[in-house]
Amino acid sequence: MTPQEQAQKIEEIYNEAIKKLTELEKERKGIIGGYIKELEAQKIDVIRASILENK
C-alpha cells in the first residue's frame, strides 16, 4: 500500500467512525430527551391528579 493509499484509507475510516458516532450521539440525546419527556409526563400526571383531587 502506498502512503497515498494509506492516507485515503485512514480518511475513510475516520469518516465512517464520525458518521457512526454522529448517529450514536443523536440516539443518546434521544434517549435522554425521552427520559426528560417521561419525567415531564409524570409531572403533568401528578399535577393533573392533584387538580382532580382538589375538585
Q: How far is the CB of 12 from other proteins (least distance, A)?
A: 9
- Burial of residue 40 (CB within 10 Å: 0-12, 13-18, 19+) is exposed
Residue 28 interacting with other proteins (CB under 8 A): yes
Q: How far apart are CA 53 and CA 50, in angstroms?
A: 5
C-alpha grid cell, residue 37: 419527556
Nearest residue (CB) to other proteins, 18 versus 55: 18
**Which stretches of the chain bind other proteins, using CB under 8 A?**
1-3, 6-7, 9-11, 13-14, 17-18, 20-21, 24-25, 27-29, 31-32, 35-36, 39-40, 42-43
